[in-house]
Structure 1
């Protein structure tokens, strides 16, 4: 009896062990058959030649991963045609080309070393973001959901592409050049540049731009040629001294306002606050200079006008002085001649009228005397 009971008590344990053994036997071949596609020389879709890894995943529906440990001692990688490529945000590859990829998911961290240079070339590809280690970016006919520009970047070229969200986390510097050509940008959250950095929009369309978060200083430059800005929270761009802004055939209501910078401000200030900018002092300074220029110009014009009037007055006085003697003599002669003529005409008229009166008076007197004589003879005594 005791032996029988002990055997029955051991039966459940044995069944559990048997189940574990069966599960291991079933799992081992399945787990060994599952494989992950990586950017690696050991992958059937990749070939390595002179530290250049070329992979072609065209027609492959499985995702591809770029992981640390599989790309050691490789200077350049070319990846073509995967359905999805998982790329760490701190990937460190000297030269990487991604072409004809439906989606590049940039997330997570796997590389622990820092990159001195990371050249990323994207063609006909959609990316969720740009790796933070990227120093040189060139994108053609591609789409990027979030493009964050950082101070480590040295050159950025976006051509015939679409960017949903464009922003800068810090000031671009060290003469970095950002060229955005024939590209549609849906939302520009912030643009900040300093130390000879240059940002250019050529034949591009910006749906919405936060001008209040656009900060330029230290000889930075902003160029917008044959482009359009549809809307924004603010249509006024603050431009401190030394900054170059070129607007040519820009379809926008953008207005430029000159400002000054408080001495001692650092170039690493937040682009959202613009704490180092003094609008009141700079506006007063430029207003005083403008008023001084206008006053100087008006004063010079008045001096020139006064000199011209003085010269013309002097010339007129001289001419009038020369003409006075001749006019006076001529006037006197006219007056004398006029008096002579008037006297002669009056005398002649008086004399003629006098003679006429005397003759008529005598004739009438003679007629009256004859009549009186006839009356005396005819009167009866």
Structure 2
């Protein structure tokens, strides 16, 4: 491995680990953190490419924010970069959940003041992301209107597949309106993965979906059963990380691996840690089989996301640089802004801004981020402290 590639991997590891330690607020907030760190500060990807990647990951099943992080890692440092970006973003919360799984059971941490402050931080982070992306991706009346319509439909029609349908419809509208419009500044992503390898990854993804249930019946081992349950749960999630909760509940509680009370306690603990919601699988795996169980659960639930992103990315440049596809993506990117705007209201605003002082803190954090240009980790600490103070008032 050359020094340049090693340096790139170390850089990806450092940045993704910092995000894994500070990215509170769920998948939509994560996209805001990614935008601030990877796009605005480090410029590893231009705005349009980032929006295209977000749109692609919204299409795919699995944890969208983790897939975006994997994609950015692949662009920056190849296949190993994708793995390192995922590890850095995921490991902090996995370690915390496994270490504190038993300690956090029975504690109502969801109502702690500092936890509420972190929810307000997420409001400021997502608002900042929408502020920046909206200026770039909705510069005309048609795309602003499309974003508003996408926001309205997202809020009024909340199903597992609604976001996918909205993005498809926006792509069709963009194709009709912008198919002949020249797109400037479309940066070709340096994907250092062959199409052959991409096809292999997609083949493995579908093969495991079909074969694991059969192997589970044939093998009759707890480890194989866990791999099948968590892999299938990670393969069938559309519409955000929270959709995985009922899937996991149906897999682990009836099987007797985790009690319903422990399941709910672990979900509460997951809200207290940064990083992707899918790391809840680490807690469940630890409850079912200790540290080995946690490792099995984490690898199995995230493997579909990795296989899909790595499988599709080698074909993505050819698609997104096609003039018709570019027109479609202009519509899709406007819809992504609308979907983010909807998420700013629900679930972020509705769960975080409950009283006037919450709004005051949110505006202060937004000002610190946008106008004072303070780093996100300071915003996180200030938000947690502010939430704690508000809880005392």
- TM-score of the alignment, normalized to the shorter chain, above 0.5: no
Higher relative contact order, chain-length normalized (CA < 8 Å, sep 6+)? 2
For normalisation by structure 2, the TM-score amounts to 0.15
Return the TM-score normalized by structure 1.
Answer: 0.15
Structure with bigger gyration radius: 1
More helix by share: 2
